[in-house]
Amino acid sequence: MPLKLSQNGCSVWVTSSTELVLTPTRIALGKFDGVHLGHQQVIKPIFRPNTNVVGGTVPGAMSEHPSAQEINSPLLDSNLASSTSERVYSTVVTFNPHPQEFFSGKPRAWLTPLDEKVQMLRSLGVEQLVLLPFDKELSSLPPDEFVEKILVQQLKCQQISVGQDFQFGRKRSGTAFDLQALAEPFGIPVTIVPLQTCMGESCIATGERISTSLIRQHLESGNIELANKLLGRRYTLIGSVVKGNQLGRTIGFPTANIQIPKQKFLPRFGVYAVRVKGLAEATDNTAFDCLGVMNIGVRPTVEGIYTTVEVHLFDWSGDLYCKQMVVELEKFLRPEQKFPSLEALKTQIKQDCEVAKAFFSTEC
């Protein structure tokens, strides 16, 4: 796959072919959907060539979770092995398709589809993303063969980081501690990162581990603030503005209809207070950063059938068609509902805008 270039010149090399992997590697191994605070702790050790591993855990593991900004990586050109001038590539290794998708045969919605995941990994300083093709052959490899054939021979890894609950190999028979033991004869240290837990109101139960499934649960119930805390950032929807039926214009609330990737996980249907950013392109200087309200749903008031994502921007006028927009979800305002008339819908949207503005006024 092509190089994903960042604005500051750094990049992430993305490949699904082990023949094209940049080697040698220092790898974080897992699924990493969401790249949440727990995932970030697993990724962090691959930036530290001299990580000391004691009893399979990271010494002095933090009890508080750093934000993505707090664990931003060193510069790529300083990522060198300590004992040699040979460059070692900080690499995230995951699976495509997701093992659950492979075994169930059902498509999976992602918190971070590929392009979004690449952006997140780039922001952390990861140099390479390897998407191991998860097929019958890979799924049938016993743990020892996975280590020798994939990690040693193909990826030429010099260091591995995994979460404490990591499982691998045929029928998920290998544990993180098995990986540590199997890698030892090859001189590969394995950092086993303790499970990251959330405390207080961010959790359904105090001490519950931070996980993709917990974040999805929060998003499904509309608990955006809690999901954002576990992610370490705002949950985002990214897409291009396409032409809709322009109903919003007729009631005084024009909206941008955003086409979201089909594989993106959508939160609870309803209305949200959002921050919206537009990215300037080479042929267009239209960059903006606005507040607004967003509706996700089927628009039952007008007998809608298909799911749409529509955003009304405060204090904005201009043509947004074909523009790329990044929508950051801040607060769930209300569930989607059917109104008896367009006038009633208009009244409710006005109230939604007032509630959102009041919310932002206390946040700023």
Each residue's pLDDT, cut to its tens digit, for the chain (364 residues) gives: 444 433 334 689 999 999 999 999 999 999 999 999 999 999 999 996 544 333 332 222 223 332 222 223 333 333 433 444 689 999 999 999 888 888 888 888 999 999 999 999 999 999 999 999 999 999 999 999 999 999 999 999 999 999 999 999 998 999 999 999 999 999 999 999 999 987 766 566 557 789 999 999 999 999 999 999 999 999 999 999 987 666 666 666 888 899 999 999 999 999 999 999 886 554 455 567 899 999 999 888 777 778 999 999 998 777 777 788 999 999 999 999 999 888 999 899 999 999 999 999 987 5
User: Mind listing the domains of the chain with CATH numbers?
Assistant: 4-193 (3.40.50.620), 198-233 (no CATH), 235-363 (2.40.30.30)
Going from the C-alpha of 74 to that of each of 5, 233, 254, the distances in angstroms are 17, 20, 44
Check if the beta carbon of residue 306 is closer than 8 Å to that of residue 298. yes
> How many Cα neighbours within 13 Å face the side chain of 214?
22
Report the predicted TM-score, pTM, of the whole model to 2 decimal places.
Answer: 0.82
**Distance in angstroms (rounded) separating the CA atoms of residues 349 and 295:** 10
